[in-house]
Amino acid sequence: MSEVAPGLVTVFGGSGFVGSQVVQALARRGWRIRVAVRRPDRAFKVQTAGHVGQIYTTRCDATDPAQVEEALRGADAAVNLIGVLYETGRNTFAAAHVQAARNIAEACAAGGVDRLVHISAIGANPESESDYARSKAEAEMAVREVKPDATIVRPSVVFGPGDDFLNKFASMAGWSPALPLIGGGQTKFQPVYVGDVAAAIATALSRTEAAGETYELGGPAVMTFEDILRLIMRETHRSRPLLPLPFFAARMMGGVAQLAALVGLKPMLTRDQVVLLETDNVVAPDARTLADLGVEPTGIEAVAASYLWRYRRGGQFAEAAA
């Protein structure tokens, strides 16, 4: 096993939920980190994740090739974490996933940036009905076409403080009289801890044998959507009936809910996200995994309580109802 000595790495999208954890993991391994984001004023917190001067931010719209080229100037490696869960205005799946990924890969190839790690998602499929999953697959193909030695990581649903999954339904359990059991709740997931995803990316960036490989990242347990909702209710000390909601009805509701994005609001659920829920999201049996990167997966039960307590009546030390 051989490792690349840490140098300067440009992390695109390094201020988000996964990105901030990746920056911390890279900082611990001695990398100097340039965080390339559209809004550097929203990324100031990541600069405290390392030593003085180890991390700094720069403005970059990854859909602009010239700005990507500048963000990579002098870099030894790059990590692309740019992604959106729903479309708003010009921030489309095609722009955020495909165009940005192609620009970054092309700039790496042209600028002699040897190492590139690109984040995708389990379920990426060029023939998927989901715009999200299809664009993730198209991004993978664009990266491989330009830079075949890039490393691709595909996480399942990522959980941890600040996630957009457990927090979403925990919040809903606080005000909704029932929780939607979309499609009967039997879709399977393999939730993966954000800290494990960050450790995997940092390791993949350093290991030469990870070049050109694809890794699927999942936690230690496969859970159904219903299992996850019941875990949320246990940790938030809520008791809500689970209301079966057929996929076709959920699609219609998602189509209406996503109209919130047109006025700048975050939709609770979109039609495209419902389409994603119609397919299992688990690691393939023959895939390279966290274990191949030396990362032992963390169980969801070990982490969920540390941040879902905020949704309990009475706070962190409230006792569960008998």
CATH no. for residue 197? 3.40.50.720
* Domain region containing 125: 8-158+191-218+282-298
Residue 110 belongs to a domain: yes
pLDDT of residue 322: 39
Residue 115 belongs to a domain: yes
Residue 208 belongs to a domain: yes
**Segments of the chain with pLDDT less than 50:** 322
Tokens 């205005």 sit at which residue? 89
Residue 254 belongs to a domain: no
Residue 50 belongs to a domain: yes
pLDDT of residue 213: 98
Cα–Cα nearest to 12, from 43, 51, 54? 43
pTM for this predicted structure: 0.94
pLDDT of residue 265: 79
- Give the number of other CB atoms < 10 A from CB of residue 104: 33
pLDDT of residue 319: 65
Q: For residue 249, give every residue at least 6 positions away whose Cβ sits within 8 Å of its Cβ, in sequence order, or none.
A: none
For the segment 196-214, what is each residue's pLDDT rounded down to a tens digit? 999 999 999 999 999 999 9
Amino acid occupying residue 10: T
Q: To 10 degrees, what angle do helices 100-111 and 131-146 make?
A: 10
Q: How many domains does the chain have?
A: 1
Residue 264 belongs to a domain: no
Tokens encoding 26: 């890279």
Q: How far, in Å, CA of 27 to CA of 315, rounded? A: 33
Instruction: Check the CA dihedral 272-226-163-75 and report its sign.
Output: negative
* Strand 188-189 to 223-224 pairing: antiparallel
Residue 209 belongs to a domain: yes
Residue 176 belongs to a domain: no
pLDDT of residue 263: 74
